[in-house]
């Protein structure tokens, strides 16, 4: 375990970040052919001569992918190059059908943008500007499944299986310039940047941005330098970072690991490292000491991309509200304190809360359901809220039932639980579970009378003004009504009945 504390690290060193984010676009067809991009198909069923790299097959560009990339560039405040080219990145790997990847090299489609992020700190909200160097298009590779061996890695495997369904899916790579000046907040800034990017991409509707499915992947480059130095340290590149939380953990972990090496007089090795979700540590991967030579050259099978200036302006006009601005607007509309707002953003419930509010719920109730019970279940199951079978529609319906007194808070929780468990809509859960608020005062009075008859002494005590004794009678009524009565109403009726 580490002997250094994080405070020790940031007291001596300044971290410098560099973040590369790969985004799978959600186009219906692949980057260079018309094969489907649907996730999870049977292996090698979504392939054709083009994406299998058959001899003679040629790529043609998916215009929708170019449009999505330009939208991303515009949303990240980039300039859109009037002329850009695809290039071949040459290296041999079995899951890459042509043994070169069509990518972009020195002529990317979008350059020089930025993303502003805010993080909560003990010193209040801090703002950082992350400069984006480039946004470019490329094709994804296939997937290798290494069978046998202990690690699931190619070394030591008995054999490997190749699935080319993913080969040729459009990817956009967003690369930041180096990010200095984040100091002790580097891990949070990295996380906030990826979160902001994800929100922007989602608002553009260009990607599913599911980190757990790999449609948004982050490689975190970290290096340290002694505070005050202007010489960059050696960086490591951490891959396999599959959640926002992991981005933060990976950066923090690497900062500590680098600092330990530097303090011990060791040098940091320039290499790829793999993040381990269970330990939060990284494991050494491919060394990059000998820079790989990808022999880039312009892709001769594709003509240059020269988007029309008018088209770019038309796309700019369709840009949705920037997520950071939207957050401010919602916070104001809902009158939510900063902390609550951050909690909602962190729990990733902003979209669902807004949808619930738009369906007529009041913001406080909508928020408390999504942030409370529903988030709790999602956390318990360790899945995203979006993966639970409950929708804003369901929550809005439940809020309406609570407001009209048809459900108590306690019963509403049972309904939510049922919907989350996949038992159907709130109405279905209510009817199947036989949940019904007993708000019929006549029925309640009957139960109260019988409770008083069964416990005459207790009833007398209450009648005499000893109110705590009422609890036993209320309990009996609740038992009688199988917990479906509104306890507050029972108490009210009981006390009235006993002359209090």
Contacts with other proteins by CB under 8 A lie at 49, 52-61, 88, 90, 92, 94, 97-100, 154, 160, 162, 291, 293, 295-297, 300-303
Q: How far apart are CA 168 and CA 187, in angstroms?
A: 32
Of 41 and 53, CB closest to other proteins: 53
Residue 236 · residue 271 · CB < 8 Å: yes
- Rounded to the nearest 10°, the torsion over CA 49, 50, 53, 59 is 160
Q: Least CB distance from residue 256 to other proteins, whole Å?
A: 34
| Summary count for the chain: helices (H), strands (E) | 17, 14
Q: 407-410: long-range contacts at Cβ-Cβ below 8 A with a sequence spacing of 24 or more?
A: 407/435, 407/437, 408/437, 408/486, 408/487, 410/483
Of 302 and 400, CB closest to other proteins: 302
Q: How far apart are CA 175 and CA 112, in angstroms?
A: 10
Structure tokens at 447: 């139960």
Q: How far apart are CA 90 and CA 102, in angstroms?
A: 9
Q: Which residue has the tokens 């820079």?
A: 291
CA distance readout (Å), 393 to 352, 354, 396, 426, 458? 9, 11, 5, 10, 46
Q: Least CB distance from residue 112 to other proteins, whole Å?
A: 25
Of 39 and 296, CB closest to other proteins: 296
Q: Least CB distance from residue 46 to other proteins, whole Å?
A: 15
Residue 416 · residue 374 · CB < 8 Å: yes
Of 49 and 471, CB closest to other proteins: 49
Q: Least CB distance from residue 149 to other proteins, whole Å?
A: 12
Q: Least CB distance from residue 31 to other proteins, whole Å?
A: 12
Q: Least CB distance from residue 60 to other proteins, whole Å?
A: 5
Of 47 and 207, CB closest to other proteins: 47
Q: Least CB distance from residue 175 to other proteins, whole Å?
A: 19
Q: Least CB distance from residue 290 to other proteins, whole Å?
A: 12
**Count of beta carbons in the 10 Å neighbourhood of residue 203:** 17
Structure tokens at 141: 């590779």
Nearest to 360, CA basis, from 409, 416, 399, 406: 399
Of 98 and 497, CB closest to other proteins: 98
Of 114 and 297, CB closest to other proteins: 297
Q: How far apart are CA 204 and CA 64, in angstroms?
A: 13
Structure tokens at 228: 């005050």
Of 28 and 410, CB closest to other proteins: 28
| Phi, psi for residue 161 in degrees, rounded to 5 | -115, 145
Q: Least CB distance from residue 156 to other proteins, whole Å?
A: 11
Of 34 and 318, CB closest to other proteins: 34
Of 160 and 203, CB closest to other proteins: 160
Q: Least CB distance from residue 53 to other proteins, whole Å?
A: 5
Q: Least CB distance from residue 411 to other proteins, whole Å?
A: 59
- Report the alpha-carbon angle 256-262-263, nearest 5: 85
- Report the alpha-carbon angle 250-253-257, nearest 5: 135
Of 14 and 299, CB closest to other proteins: 299
DSSP conformation letters of 6-30: HHHHHHHEEEEEEEEEEEE---SB-
């Amino acid at each position: 375990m580490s002997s250094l504390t994080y405070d020790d690290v940031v007291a001596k060193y300044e971290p410098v970040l560099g973040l590369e984010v790969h985004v799978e676009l959600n186009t219906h067809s692949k980057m260079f052919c018309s094969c489907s991009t649907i996730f999870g198909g049977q292996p090698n069923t979504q392939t054709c001569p083009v994406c299998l790299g058959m001899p003679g097959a040629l790529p043609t560009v998916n215009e929708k992918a170019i449009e999505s990339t330009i939208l991303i560039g515009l949303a990240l405040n980039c300039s859109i190059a009037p002329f850009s080219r695809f290039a071949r990145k040459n290296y041999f790997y079995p899951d890459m059908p042509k043994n070169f990847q069509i990518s972009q090299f020195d002529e990317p489609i979008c350059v020089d943008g930025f993303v502003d992020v805010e993080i909560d700190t003990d010193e209040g909200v801090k703002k950082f500007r992350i400069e984006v160097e480039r946004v470019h298009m490329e094709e994804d590779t296939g997937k290798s499944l290494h069978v046998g061996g202990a690690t699931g890695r190619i070394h030591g495997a008995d054999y490997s299986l190749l699935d080319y369904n993913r080969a040729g899916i459009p990817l956009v790579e967003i690369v930041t310039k180096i990010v200095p000046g984040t100091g002790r907040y580097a891990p949070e800034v990295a996380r906030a940047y990826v979160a902001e990017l994800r929100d922007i991409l989602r608002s553009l509707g260009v990607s599913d941005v599911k980190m757990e499915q790999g449609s948004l992947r982050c490689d975190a480059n970290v290096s340290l330098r002694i505070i005050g130095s202007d010489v960059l340290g050696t960086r490591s590149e951490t891959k396999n970072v599959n959640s926002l939380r992991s981005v933060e953990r990976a950066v923090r972990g690497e900062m500590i690991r680098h600092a330990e090496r530097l303090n011990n007089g060791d040098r940091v090795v320039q290499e790829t490292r793999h993040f381990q979700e269970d330990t939060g540590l990284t494991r050494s991967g491919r060394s990059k000491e000998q820079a790989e030579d990808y022999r880039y050259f312009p892709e001769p099978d594709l003509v240059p991309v020269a988007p029309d200036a008018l088209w770019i302006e038309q796309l700019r006009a369709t840009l949705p509200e920037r997520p950071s601005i939207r957050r401010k607007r919602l916070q104001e509309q809902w009158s939510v304190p900063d902390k609550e707002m951050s909690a909602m953003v962190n729990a990733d419930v902003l979209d669902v809360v807004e949808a619930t509010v738009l369906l007529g719920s009041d913001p406080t109730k909508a928020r408390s359901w999504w942030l409370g019970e529903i988030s709790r279940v999602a956390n318990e199951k360790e899945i995203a809220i979006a993966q639970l079978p409950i929708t804003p529609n369901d929550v809005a319906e439940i809020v309406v039932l609570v407001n009209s007194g048809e459900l108590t808070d306690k019963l509403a929780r049972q309904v939510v639980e049922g919907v989350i468990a996949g038992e159907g809509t709130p109405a279905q859960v209510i009817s199947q579970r036989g949940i019904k608020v007993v708000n019929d005062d006549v029925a309640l009075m009957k139960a109260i009378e019988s409770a008083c008859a069964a416990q005459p002494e207790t009833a007398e005590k209450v009648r005499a003004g000893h109110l705590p004794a009422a609890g036993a009678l209320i309990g009996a009524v609740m038992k009688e009504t199988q917990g479906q009565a509104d306890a507050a109403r029972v108490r009210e009726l009981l006390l009235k009945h006993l002359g209090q």
